[in-house]
Amino acid sequence: MTELQIITFRGLVYPWHCDHMGHMNVQHYVGMFDQATWQMFAMIGITPTYMREQHCGVAAVRQNISYRRELLPGDAITIRTGILEINQKVIRFYHEMMKDETAEMSATTLISGIHMDTQTRKACPFPQDVVTRASQMIVEIIPVI
């Protein structure tokens, strides 16, 4: 397990997260990773208020997911997040989803996003305070995808 700097999600697998084969369906892995992403964004200053007032947001442009271990109803999970890179308009980050009971990695994802003006729908620079906060959270890892 790679220790990442921040915990961005804790939750449980409920029966309604599972498909007809009895394990958590891919849509819920993505949903939990999405919640972790928004938590991380809030930590670096990309909050709902910022997005509404500045007419800016972040759009995912690439996401790679690796499913490693099935999750079943009742499994408690934790997602840890690390920022790999932030530059003028692009952020790359990594999530690890762990099954709490066994500390086994269940899934990982590597995401690239662009900061954008929501009115013009074009990429624009991140504010310097966001870059500063995100830079303080950069981890030195090689993602396992």
| Tens of pLDDT, residues 45-79 | 999 999 999 999 999 999 999 999 999 999 999 99
The greatest distance separating any two alpha carbons of the chain, rounded to the nearest whole angstrom, comes to 47
- Judged against a pLDDT cut of 90, whether residue 1 lies above it is answered with no
Percent of the chain residues past pLDDT 70, beyond the cut? 94
In tens, the pLDDT along 119-139 reads: 999 999 999 999 999 999 999
- Give residue 4's pLDDT: 57
The model's confidence at residue 144, banded by pLDDT at 50, 70 and 90, is low
| Residue 115 half-sphere exposure toward CB, CA atoms < 13 A | 23
The model's confidence at residue 88, banded by pLDDT at 50, 70 and 90, is very high
Query: How far is Cα 46 from Cα 48, in angstroms, rounded to an integer?
Result: 7
Percent of the chain residues past pLDDT 90, beyond the cut? 92
In tens, the pLDDT along 7-31 reads: 999 999 999 999 999 999 999 999 9
> What global pTM score does this model have?
0.92
- Judged against a pLDDT cut of 70, whether residue 33 lies above it is answered with yes
Q: Is 143 left (phi over 0), alpha (psi -120 to 50) or beta?
A: beta
- Give residue 34's pLDDT: 97
- Give residue 2's pLDDT: 45
- Give residue 140's pLDDT: 80
Helix (H, G, I), strand (E, B) or coil at 2: coil
Third-level CATH fold of 6-135:
Thiol Ester Dehydrase; Chain A (3.10.129)
